[in-house]
Amino acid sequence: MDGSLNHIAAELRTCFQQTTSERPIPQNGFAGVEAQRECITDEALANPCGWRVRGKVTGDETVIITVFPQLQDVFRNEYGRQSTYMAAWRSKEIIMDHIQGSESSSFQVIPAFCDTLKSLDRGAYAEWETYPGTRKFWRVFVCPTALGRAFPHLRPHVGLDVCHTKNHKYPMQVLLASAMDGNSHVNYLAYALVDRENEENWSWFLRLVRMAVVGVEDTFVQFVSDRCKGIVNAVRDVFPGQSHTHCTIHLERNLKRFGKNMVKLFQGLYQQRTEER
């Protein structure tokens, strides 16, 4: 089956081009069972094996194919053991822990990682903390030397944002600081892994950003972020007097509750050019 993935990719691209309200024409033993504008799911015509493939166009020349085998079927076919999906999944997790190391133990190497980074990259900032009075990991901040030294050559507009990790067992959040160069390319300045997004963590992150990136002098910096209360208070406390603006995309999403006309009015406001004096 693996040897035919290239042929399947070609057929999927043809199906994407021919996708209409009708069912795609079966080709090479596969029939489209779900067709949308961006993706399509196919299954074998002779379907006792239940094999399925899902393809998605990501560019002019690229198709991503994801195969969805049933985990318990693999156990039955390969090892002759019957199991529920959850039992098979837990078994897989145990095996992955043996191969790659457990997720919980990965937090134990963060101090060594920080020490190694600072010893090999002179001038880098790598700081970690545990919860007060415990040995439980709390947060870590990283800023390699090259990123910190790049800031004077970038536009003095620092974007602040947060994203969630994909780890459901140990959910964390990543705080990010970035700036643009003269070609409008985004350059990351520093990042931190924290337990949650709140004012305390943002204040801690921005204090280290000031030390590692911006500097303690009264350098002009304009911050751009969403309207999270924790960010607003942290910027005001750590960088008093500096300009702090809000991302129009986040504001626009908040205005959708008031209808499309309000969104169009807001778009007309922030897209309006100001004449130079």
Distance between CA atoms of 138 and 41, rounded to whole angstroms? 42
Region of 123 on the Ramachandran plot (φ > 0 left; ψ -120 to 50 alpha; else beta): left
Cα(177)–Cα(159) distance, rounded to whole angstroms? 6
pTM of this prediction? 0.64
- What are the backbone angles phi and psi of residue 221, rounded to the nearest 5°? -140, 135
Determine phi and psi for 20, rounding to 5 degrees: -135, -165
CB 77 within 8 A of CB 68: no
Look up residue 23 and give its two tokens. 């069912």
The pLDDT tens digits for 29-71 are 444 444 444 444 444 444 444 545 555 555 555 555 555 556 6
φ and ψ of 33, to 5 deg: -105, -15
Q: Which residues of the chain have pLDDT under 50?
A: 1-3, 5, 8-9, 12, 15-49, 51
What 3-state DSSP class applies to 238?
helix
Calculate the CA 81 to chain-centre distance. Answer: 37
